[in-house]
Amino acid sequence: MSFTVLNRNLRKYDDRTLSGLLRTGLLDAADVEIDIEKCIEPEIIEWLINYDCDTSAQPIGIFFTLLTVLAHVAHNITILQWNKIRKNLNIYSFILGISGACKSGFVRPVRAAYTAMIDFLRQYNLGDPDSYNSLVDTFTTAGLYDQLVQSTDVLVLQEEIDTTLNNMGFYVNSGNDGRQLLCSLWEGLDDNKKTKSYRQNIRRSHLTLCGASTGKLFTPLIRECLDDLPTDGVIDRCLILVVPYSRFTRDLLQPRDLRKPTITQILLCASILGQRELMFDDDAYNTINAYTDDLTHRAATFYRTSPRFTSYLAKQPPQVIKLCGLMTIIHTITTVLRRINVNLSDETDHGLTLAFYNEVQMIVRQRVPYVITVTQNIVDRAIYLHGFLYEQSERLLHLNTHQNDNIPQIKLTGDQLQKHLMREILMMRNLIIMTNAIFSIPGKHNYFEKFIFKILGISHVHRLLVKNALQQLVTEHLLLADYYVLTSTNRPIFCYIKVVPKMNNLVDREILAEKLQQHNISLEEYMILNNSYTLTKGSRLHQSALKILSMPSYVAVSGGPYDQQLNFERPSVVRNSHQNNSYSPNITTTQQHTQHQRSLCLSDTQRLQQTSVLNKGNKRSISAAFVESDDSISHSQDTNRISNHNIERNTIRSTFSITSISSEEICTPISRTTCNEGCLSTILYANICIY
């Protein structure tokens, strides 16, 4: 048996599908984790704490905006790529996120700081007079040409940038003057435009662009990436930061530290630097060359199979070079401001005085050379930030869709396909995999299968392969199987919980890492993807699942069970399928009479202690929207027999041990088939280890 993987390039996407891909891409990109200490200097992190009220304690957003504005303020500073080719530092940056993700809080303080700095320079006739009117709000393509004549370098900094980009034709697929102008201004525009009444001479003009948006108009850009057709590459020149929702709490309302520099003072210090050159030292030179060579090599690899992906990769070396320059400016400003005692008068004070200006100017003249060295530490920070932004853009725009489409058709055998299915199941962003979502629609492909088909590009697969893949993962002790979920009608659903390594147990962690490595999955990636779970609407966790998710190993990964609807008291006697509050996992459904073993009984106090772990923070997961069957179950005879058996045992018990479950402790997976009809249950033993 073989199956055909069709080329995704042949697919067509309607608006509804594109909207779904955009929504999924935004959430998926926002889940990319970042260590801010690896890309932001410690002093800058401390200074940005004063803006936690605006940013909901997310310094990466306001730092990203600050970098962009610094590129405009320090427009006279250039960096030498390969220590030979001169590059300007202007960048195009977008901050995307859902409404309420504090996007405006990243832009508003920086815009207010820039405006205050320009007013200060204009008041005392300092700095470059051409920069006084360089901030542009609303404009068209013709209006931007007029602005470029007045000021060679233009800044667009807006909280809602969709209108401005729409006027420039940024979201239009077909070629237009606005997109071509944006592409030219990124590199540097030299133009001699003549009209009927006048001539416009533009020399070495650059545009720096930064704005926030919900991304609702990005669907045409995603279509460009999915169609895999060469374009003008305007989106390839953009650095995109996707921010998650961050809860605003009262503890963020801290009084401002008046001894820390403000963003306005940082921008003023950048303007005083004037004309400078940035050059890499030997270690930084080798590091940045190795990183950019890898990007260009990947671009060459996909040149014939995915020109769209090649276009994006081809623009990344200049992006990371510019980030190195901006990081160097930040480091230089930190060194200068560290020598100045800042003492603001009040929380609204920007800290701009002639005394401060003269002191900064004196330090810059004495201690900042004309050629500033880009060090290894700075390059490492820039590469880390670029890698983070690159991964977010790859998920948002679905740029990696065509990386495996080198051949129009690929033949996969049954075993090969099952191996692919096993890997994709482990890579699903859900700690709990519900079985009824897989097998609830007879004769048709359900959502889970379509989800797997979409990942692999498979036109058809037998349902038995999916079932065998799940069973094989149970056999390999990578999945736990039982009736872990209850529907709104208290009907149990057979599902799976992914195994996580036992806490503080290096041996167990290594064993699980070796098993995952057989499926080409790293343990770190596996833990990140399975840090949360999602249930269908109206469903809730069974007591056995609550006990498993309350164990320290699962609490450390997902924060504990989210479901708070389940009553933790002793369950009442089961009368029928619609009156009980908790079901035993031993309930027989459909025509399969599978009996499971009950674990050792614990006291009510122990059960409450192990199921009372609170969720430390709300997690968001991106998972398939599982479809649940509404069929009710009314097997009165089996239910009464089970009820009587429960009364005799005086409690309802789960199949697996309620304590820490690791890859070593699981002895035998549970099978849904009955080996002996006369046997009421199959007894499985598991180690009980209470943390």
Q: How far apart are CA 58 and CA 63, in angstroms?
A: 9
Task: Provide the domain count of the chain.
Answer: 2
Are 563 and 588 contained in the same domain?
Answer: yes
pLDDT (0 to 100) of residue 562:
62
Is residue 473 in some structural domain? yes
Are 437 and 394 contained in the same domain?
Answer: no
> What is the b/e burial string over 253-292, where b = at least 16 CB atoms within 10 angstroms of the residue's CB?
eeebeeebbbbbbbbbbbbbbbebebebeeebbebbeebb
Whether residue 683 is predicted with pLDDT greater than 50 in this model: the reply is: no
pLDDT in tens, 495-535: 899 999 998 889 999 999 999 998 888 888 888 888 888 78
Place of tokens 């980030």: 323
Phi/psi at 202 (5° precision): -120, 125
Are 441 and 301 contained in the same domain?
Answer: no
Are 395 and 429 contained in the same domain?
Answer: no
Is residue 211 in some structural domain? yes
Whether residue 241 is predicted with pLDDT greater than 90 in this model: the reply is: yes
| Mean pLDDT of all residues in 527-554 | 84
pLDDT (0 to 100) of residue 130:
80
pLDDT in tens, 337-370: 999 988 888 878 888 999 999 999 999 999 999 9
**Least confidently predicted of 178-182, 338-342, 422-426, 639-643:** 639-643
Which range marks the domain in which residue 551 is found?
A: 410-649
CATH number of the domain bearing residue 362: 3.40.50
Is residue 665 in some structural domain? no
Is residue 121 in some structural domain? yes
What share of the chain in percent tops pLDDT 70? 70
Is residue 664 in some structural domain? no
Are 277 and 253 contained in the same domain?
Answer: yes
Is residue 128 in some structural domain? yes
The residue that leads in pLDDT, 84 or 284, is 284
Is residue 607 in some structural domain? yes
| Mean pLDDT of all residues in 88-108 | 92
Confidence of residue 127 (pLDDT cuts 50, 70, 90): confident
What share of the chain in percent tops pLDDT 90? 32
Which positions ≥6 away from 211 have C-beta within 8 Å? 94, 95, 107, 156, 157, 158, 159, 160, 161, 164, 165
pLDDT in tens, 169-195: 888 876 677 888 888 889 888 777 666
Confidence of residue 543 (pLDDT cuts 50, 70, 90): confident
Helices assigned H by DSSP within 82-176: 103-123, 141-150, 162-167
Are 393 and 417 contained in the same domain?
Answer: no
Are 484 and 579 contained in the same domain?
Answer: yes
pLDDT (0 to 100) of residue 79:
94
Are 245 and 304 contained in the same domain?
Answer: yes
CB 174 within 8 A of CB 232: no
The residue that leads in pLDDT, 467 or 651, is 467
Which range of 34-48, 144-158, 183-197, 590-604 scores highest in mean pLDDT? It is 34-48
Residue type, 380: D
pLDDT in tens, 285-323: 999 999 999 999 888 888 877 788 888 999 999 999 999
Question: Domain boundary at 402, 434, 460, which?
Answer: 402
User: Between β-strands 199-213 and 189-194, what pairing exists: parallel, antiparallel or unpaired?
Assistant: antiparallel
pLDDT (0 to 100) of residue 462:
56
Are 552 and 581 contained in the same domain?
Answer: yes
| Mean pLDDT of all residues in 606-632 | 37
Helices assigned H by DSSP within 124-218: 141-150, 162-167, 177-187
User: Between β-strands 410-413 and 2-5, what pairing exists: parallel, antiparallel or unpaired?
Assistant: antiparallel
| Mean pLDDT of all residues in 118-127 | 92
**Least confidently predicted of 27-31, 227-231, 615-619:** 615-619
Whether residue 228 is predicted with pLDDT greater than 80 in this model: the reply is: no
pLDDT (0 to 100) of residue 306:
79
Are 356 and 434 contained in the same domain?
Answer: no
Is residue 20 in some structural domain? no
Whether residue 600 is predicted with pLDDT greater than 90 in this model: the reply is: no
Are 390 and 424 contained in the same domain?
Answer: no
Which has the closest alpha carbon to 149: 195, 88, 196, 193? Answer: 193
241 forms bridges with which residues in the sheet? Answer: 95
Are 606 and 533 contained in the same domain?
Answer: yes
Q: How far apart are CA 176 and CA 547, in angstroms?
A: 60
